[in-house]
């Protein structure tokens, strides 16, 4: 069982396994692993999962932006004590990326309508979108609220870095507004009381979707049920914080599941993730093809033929190994997302993947199976000191997600170590937050019409 410092702060990063020694791999080996045409280059592979909707991967990015932001570290430094690194976001799943600092501190995010000279029932309650700003450039009815320079006026600017993540932001803003309208109609609440209740209901439904939809898809139902039913074993303590084993390695698993092209509308074409249609972030929406129909990317009651995520394995789509938004004059190591992830392991002094596997109680035969796969990726790594991120991808490929029938499903989700870290941290963040549904009311259940991620993001979709 991991124990971390009693002095841990919720606005700082920390460690899950401070007792384990850090691993180190020579940078040239890491660069070779993550290079174009290297062992992790999946090029334009189309090997998809059977059960994970591609929208879940981007929802995972949204969750990441809700709980973590390291704005200070670089590849050219060593992070010995992550407790000195500020987490710019609150570590709890409180949707501060949606609500910002709230209607008093950031009133420009919210409706300010007046009726007969007095604040209307939704003043300081409903969030603004582009539809509330008809003079906005582009297609405001399907876009975020934007300033004259085109930048989105939202709680976290990262949620406008590509069209799909900006459309998630918009969908959850619309959901909050629907919740506010529903509560007003049913209970008659207005003003600040309505805002607080609408935010609570919206946030709790989002948190429910994270646990019962996202974590089940990525980590497996048996893992989620074990943690909820029997407690956490590695994420222990009384302060919610983001461990570097999670933020620098385990939670980057989704990079393996992102396809190069995505179909966002029924009967529509597939578009490059970093192309002009979906990749043009930080600008007004100008292309109707970039409007996401969430029935196409998530499982919903419409039962569409939903696009699946790529298999979770040791391959990444080719575009991710030569990121087009990085200065072409930059070194190759800076343009490869795989190399960047691997180098971060050195920077943050992460323990080796096999050492963490031993610490969480994985049998040696299971560890050997993963090490054999890692050796196929790059024999220069040896069998000691495997970078954690690479270990977890290999584990997902050769072991995979735990299923309710007792089997493991290769490539469908995280293996035992990755699933334990990701699920325990996220569930722990909720359990340690006395404002979340797991921290405030463990007998709460969502409304039937909003009880899945697919229902939530399509509830207010035009």
> By CB neighbour count within 10 A (0-12 exposed, 13-18 middle, 19+ buried), where does 18 fall?
middle
Distance CA 271, CA 275 (A): 7
Tens of pLDDT along the chain (462 residues) come to 444 445 688 889 999 999 999 999 999 999 999 999 999 999 877 799 999 999 999 999 999 999 998 877 776 778 888 988 888 888 999 999 999 999 999 999 999 998 888 999 999 999 999 999 989 999 999 999 999 999 999 999 999 999 999 999 999 999 999 999 999 999 999 999 999 999 999 999 999 999 999 999 999 999 999 999 999 999 998 999 999 999 999 999 999 999 999 999 999 999 999 899 998 789 999 999 999 999 999 999 999 999 999 999 999 999 999 998 888 888 888 899 999 999 999 999 999 999 999 999 999 999 999 999 999 999 899 889 999 999 999 999 999 999 999 999 999 999 999 999 999 999 999 999 999 999 999 999 999 999 999 999 999 999
Q: Which tokens hold the place of 347?
A: 């920077």
Residues in the chain: 462
CA angle 97, 100, 106 (to 5 degrees): 155
Give the 3-state secondary structure of residue 29. Answer: helix
Which residues on neighbouring strands pair with residue 86, listed in sequence order?
Answer: 12
Please give the Cα distance from 143 to 141 (Å, whole number). 6
Rounded Cα–Cα distance for residues 398 and 411 (Å): 7
Helix-helix angle 221-230:416-431, to 10 degrees: 50
Residue 67: CB partners within 8 Å, gap ≥ 6? 89, 90, 91, 92, 93, 242, 429
Class of domain 13-458: mainly alpha
Please tell me the distance from the alpha carbon of residue 133 to that of residue 287, in angstroms, as a whole number.
18
Q: Which residues are within 8 A (CB) of 179 and not within 5 positions of it... i.e. 6 or more apart?
A: 198, 201, 202, 205
- pTM of the entire structure? 0.96
> Which secondary-structure segment (H or E) carries 118?
strand 118-119
As beta bridge partners, residue 146 has 152
C-alpha span between 64 and 189 (Å, rounded): 32
What residues does 262 pair with on adjacent strands? 271
Q: Is the dihedral of CA 317, 320, 321, 327 positive or negative?
A: positive
CB atoms within 10 A of CB 339: 24
Question: Which residue reads 């050195």 in tokens?
Answer: 346
Place of tokens 């300033």: 147
Residue 230 to residues 215, 227, 429, Cα–Cα distance (Å): 17, 5, 16
Q: CB–CB of 27/343 below 8 Å?
A: yes
* pLDDT above 90 as % of the chain: 85
- Cβ pair 458, 269 in contact under 8 A: no
Structure tokens at 360: 């969480």
Instruction: Please give the pLDDT value at position 2.
Output: 46
**CA 179, 57, 332 angle in degrees (round to 5)?**
135
What residue ranges do the domains of the chain occupy? Answer: 13-458
Find, among 244, 284, 298, the residue nearest to 70 by Cα.
244
Report d(CA 189, CA 181) in Å as an integer.
10
Is residue 384 a contact partner of residue 399, using CB atoms and an 8 Å limit?
Answer: no
């Amino acid at each position: 069982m991991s124990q971390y410092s009693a002095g841990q702060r919720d606005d700082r990063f920390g460690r899950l396994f401070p007792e384990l020694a850090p691993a180190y791999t020579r940078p040239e080996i890491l660069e070779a692993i993550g290079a174009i045409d290297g062992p992790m280059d999946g090029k334009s592979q189309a090997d998809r999962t059977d059960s994970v909707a591609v929208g879940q991967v981007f929802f995972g990015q949204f969750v990441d932006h809700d709980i973590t932001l390291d704005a200070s570290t670089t590849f050219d430094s060593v992070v010995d004590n992550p407790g000195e690194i500020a987490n710019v976001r609150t570590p709890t799943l409180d949707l501060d990326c949606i609500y910002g600092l709230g209607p008093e501190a950031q009133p420009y995010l919210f409706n300010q309508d007046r009726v007969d000279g007095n604040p209307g029932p939704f003043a300081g309650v409903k969030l603004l979108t582009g539809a509330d700003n008809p003079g906005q450039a582009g297609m405001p009815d399907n876009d975020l609220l934007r300033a004259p320079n085109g930048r989105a006026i939202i709680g976290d600017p990262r949620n406008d870095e590509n069209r799909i993540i900006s459309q998630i932001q918009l969908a959850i803003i619309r959901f909050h507004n629907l919740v506010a309208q529903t509560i007003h109609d049913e209970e008659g609440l207005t003003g600040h009381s309505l805002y607080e209740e609408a935010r609570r209901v919206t946030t709790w439904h989002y948190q429910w979707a994270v646990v019962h939809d996202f974590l089940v898809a990525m980590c497996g139902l048996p893992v989620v049920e074990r943690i909820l039913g029997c407690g956490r074993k590695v994420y222990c303590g009384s302060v919610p914080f983001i461990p570097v084993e999670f933020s620098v390695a385990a939670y980057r698993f989704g990079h393996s599941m992102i396809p190069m092209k995505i179909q966002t509308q029924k009967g529509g074409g597939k578009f490059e993730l970093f192309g002009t249609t979906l990749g043009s972030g930080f600008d007004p929406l100008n292309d109707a093809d970039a409007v996401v129909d969430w029935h196409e990317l998530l499982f919903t009651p419409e039962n569409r033929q939903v696009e699946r995520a790529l298999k979770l394995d040791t391959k990444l789509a080719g575009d991710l190994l030569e990121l087009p938004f990085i200065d072409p004059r930059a070194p190759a190591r800076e343009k490869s997302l795989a190399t960047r992830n691997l180098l971060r392991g050195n920077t943050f002094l992460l323990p080796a993947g096999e050492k963490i596997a031993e610490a969480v109680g994985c049998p040696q035969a299971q560890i050997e199976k993963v090490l054999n796969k890692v050796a196929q990726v790059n024999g220069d790594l040896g069998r000691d000191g495997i970078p954690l991120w690479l270990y977890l991808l290999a584990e997902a490929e050769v072991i995979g997600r735990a299923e309710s029938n007792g089997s493991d499903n290769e490539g469908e989700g995280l293996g035992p170590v990755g699933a334990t870290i990701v699920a325990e941290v996220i569930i722990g963040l909720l359990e340690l937050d006395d404002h979340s549904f797991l921290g405030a009311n463990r007998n709460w259940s969502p409304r039937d019409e909003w009880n899945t991620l697919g229902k939530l993001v399509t509830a207010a979709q035009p």
